[in-house]
Amino acid sequence: MGVKFKDIVSPKKINFKDLNGRVIAIDAANTIYQFLSSIRQRDGTPLMDEHGRVTSHFSGILYRTSSLMEKGIKPIYVFDGKSHNLKGETVSKRIQIRKESEKKWKDALGKGEIKEARKYAVRSSRMSLDVVNGSKKLMDLMGIPYIQALGEGEAQASYLVQQGEAWAVASQDYDCLLFGAPKIVRNLTISGNLADLELMELESVLKTLKITRKQLVDVALLVGTDFNSGIKGIGSKTGLKLIKKEKEIYNAIKKTGTSFEEFGPDPKILRNIFLDPEITTDYEIKWKNPDQKGIIEFLCGEHGFSEERVASAIKKIKKMDSTQKSLEDWF
């Protein structure tokens, strides 16, 4: 879900050509979840192979990644590791919603209410271990690098941008601002196209709001994050005002009449989730030649994809491959 910062940040519109030649660290969980949610039939049934195994994420990964590469974008996917103890409540809430939605989906389907069915199907999506492993396998075959984070993928992806290994993180959530990502790209899709590709820069956010990153995290903690519920009635605008006035989260909490017990976890611990996350340096970022035979065997052989479509996607990957190569050969 992510922190609700929509009302206090103002991303700028960008174009695909602004991303040409850039390395983009893609939040895998965020992206794959979106594929699972939206690549469905009208009644909400996901794409499946003949054995009933969901293939929506394969479709999304193959076609989006190859199209991005055709546009000169160099993608790295970053997967989540273990989630923080304090995320437990968020996680179980999501499981609950998923369960209820699955039931409502089946019910609506039984009653022939197509639109209603799809609405709930979308919310029933689940990132199983199979989905994650299958996604990694496809990325390996495609020659696309991915990194397994120790903790939050968004933290690891943000670190990559801080290190200069990637130009921006691609995610729909604003959380990467808290993790310190200097640049975040939103709406990195192919069909959504020109209109709503967005770039958000941490420096400009902090400058505009006239606060520090630590204070931005404090605002988030008042509003609520995946790791704490925040304070009821405090949205991003009120939260921002409070932190600017009180400077410190402890004073801000007191000001709202909330006790620290009601507030929940120690703000210092919460802050550190964002300011000092566990990061791995055990990775290699390298785009390899796609294994055409392997991809076709996997997608077409095992999962019933059309060979023609898959072949044309592979062609797009190779296109970037050759331009990269000729560049490397130059030096």
Partner DNA sequence: CAATATTA
Partner DNA sequence: TAATATTGG
> According to the binding rule CB under 7 A, does residue 238 interact with DNA?
no
Question: Who's near 102: CB < 8 A, 6+ residues apart?
Answer: 120, 124
Cβ proximity to DNA, 87 vs 186, nearer residue: 186
Partners of 228 in the β-ladder:
225
Cβ proximity to DNA, 86 vs 296, nearer residue: 296
- The pairing of strands 168-170 and 23-27 is parallel
| Given 3, 11, 59, 226, the residue binding DNA (CB under 7 A) | 59
Minimal distance, residue 135 CB to DNA, in Å:
14
- The order of strands in the sheet holding 183-186 is 12-13, 198-201, 183-186, 168-170, 23-27, 74-79, 146-148
Please identify which residue in the block is written with the tokens 């609405």. 119
Cβ proximity to DNA, 312 vs 323, nearer residue: 312
Cβ proximity to DNA, 40 vs 87, nearer residue: 40
> According to the binding rule CB under 7 A, does residue 47 interact with DNA?
yes
Minimal distance, residue 45 CB to DNA, in Å:
5
Minimal distance, residue 118 CB to DNA, in Å:
10
| Given 2, 21, 304, 321, the residue binding DNA (CB under 7 A) | 304
Q: How far apart are CA 122 and CA 39, in angstroms?
A: 9
Nearest Cα residue to 200 out of 9, 38, 59, 53: 9
Minimal distance, residue 157 CB to DNA, in Å:
18
Stretch that binds DNA, among 134-142, 146-154, 259-267, 303-311 (CB under 7 A): 303-311
Cβ proximity to DNA, 308 vs 329, nearer residue: 308
Q: What is the 3-state secondary structure (H, E, C) of 82-140?
A: CCCHHHHHHHHHHHHHHHHHHHHHHHHHHCCCHHHHHHHHHHCCCCCHHHHHHHHHHHH
Stretch that binds DNA, among 59-67, 137-145, 163-171, 322-330 (CB under 7 A): 59-67
Q: List phi, psi (to 5°) of 300.
A: -85, -45
- The pairing of strands 168-170 and 74-79 is unpaired
| Given 5, 63, 77, 298, the residue binding DNA (CB under 7 A) | 63
> According to the binding rule CB under 7 A, does residue 14 interact with DNA?
no
Hey, which residues between 176 and 215 contact DNA (CB under 7 A)? Answer: 189-192
Minimal distance, residue 43 CB to DNA, in Å:
10
Task: Show the tokens assigned to 204.
Answer: 């400009």
If one counts every other C-beta atom within 10 angstroms of the C-beta of residue 288, the result is 12
What does the binding site for DNA look like in residue numbers (CB under 7 A)? 34-35, 38-42, 45-49, 55, 58-60, 63-64, 66-67, 189-192, 303-306, 308-309, 312-313
